[in-house]
Amino acid sequence: MRYRLFIRLLLLCASLALGVHASAQTDPLPSWNNGAAKKAIMDFVQATTTQGSPGFVPPTERIATFDQDGTLWVEHPIYSQVMYCLDRVPALVKAKPELAKVEPFKTVMSGNRQAIAKLPLKDLEKILAATLTGMSVDQFNAEVKKWLAEAKDPRWKRPYTELTYLPMQEVLKYLRANGYKTYIVTGGGQDFVRVYAEATYGVPPEQVVGTAGGTKYAYDKYGKPFLTKEPKLLLNDDRAGKPQGIHLMIGRRPYASFGNSDGDRQMLEYTKAGDGTRLAMIVLHDDEKREYAYGPARGLPATKVGAFTQPLYDEAKKDGWIMISMKNDWKRIFAFEP
């Protein structure tokens, strides 16, 4: 009897040491309805983490990449980073009053929403450059942090960082629990997303790949070095820029990728083009009631934000990418809702 107890405890030790917990049997994706999408994720993890399985992937090679806007959190009707840039304009004009009379700053300062929405891309780029560069890295981080603590999404009246999709948070955790390094690969600003990615998604700064600019290294009057954000684009992390960014920042091809728009197409096809078991998934915004319906749910081509066009749809079908229907596959969308 004592011997039996000893064996039992040894087994317990082994299971603790290996990190195998009794809770491993519980559903890792409770906010997902049973269906093809949930099954695809579970099958992928099973195939790539079961020793001896033909699809087994060594732990060091387990990389999964996630688009952010529209894939991990709400992107509609306007990217939160664009909101940030527009919100920064008054402070910018206060610091440089001459800008008040210059477009596009004049329009932004007018507060005329319809006019702001109609600003051409070239003007929007001017606003982004003026509000995202020219300051020290530390100053930028502090400004973003402050904004995130105060700004609220107009529909849900909550901080943007609460508008993450609970089912996708579960996928991030589930993959990490199975040895995957989870990366955000976003068309958004790398420095911007890094400010909140760790607290919001459990993704540390070094696992955020995004659109990135150069920095300048200089010294303050005390001889202390600091970096200034320069208006020089190093990586446009969108479309073909996503596999390029993945190569630059990670250096390995992901085994799983998640996206929701044309901007993710190359990342998804690059992922699927690798050997062995690979997973490519697309979030479809087809839930007008609980979130929004746009893109294929409204007929192709999609709205401007998060464009989703026919070639993406065709390639997804042909290449076996799995669609995630927010309406049908997700039991819950946000953690703050029942």
Q: Which lies closer to a second copy via its Cβ, residue 124 or residue 234?
A: 234
Q: Which lies closer to a second copy via its Cβ, residue 159 or residue 214?
A: 214
Q: Is 314 in the site for a second copy (CB under 8 A)?
A: no
The residue within the footprint of a second copy, chosen from 266, 281, 296, 308 (CB under 8 A), is: 266
| Residues in region 272-291 near a second copy by CB under 8 A | 273
The partner residues of 218 in beta bridges, in order of sequence, read: 226
| Residues in region 29-48 near a second copy by CB under 8 A | none
- Considering the complex, what minimum distance in angstroms separates the CB of residue 336 from a second copy? 25
Q: Is 135 in the site for a second copy (CB under 8 A)?
A: no
- Considering the complex, what minimum distance in angstroms separates the CB of residue 242 from a second copy? 9
Size of site (CB under 8 A) for a second copy: 44
Q: Is 144 in the site for a second copy (CB under 8 A)?
A: no
Q: Which lies closer to a second copy via its Cβ, residue 158 or residue 252?
A: 252
The residue within the footprint of a second copy, chosen from 24, 115, 240, 335 (CB under 8 A), is: 240
- Map residues 161-200 to x or -, x wherever contact with a second copy holds by CB under 8 A: --------------------x--------xx--x---x--
Query: Which residues here bind a second copy, judged by CB under 8 A?
Result: 2, 5-6, 9-10, 12-14, 16-17, 60, 63, 137, 181, 190-191, 194, 198, 204-206, 208, 212, 214-215, 217, 224-225, 227, 234-235, 240, 243-244, 247-252, 266, 269-270, 273
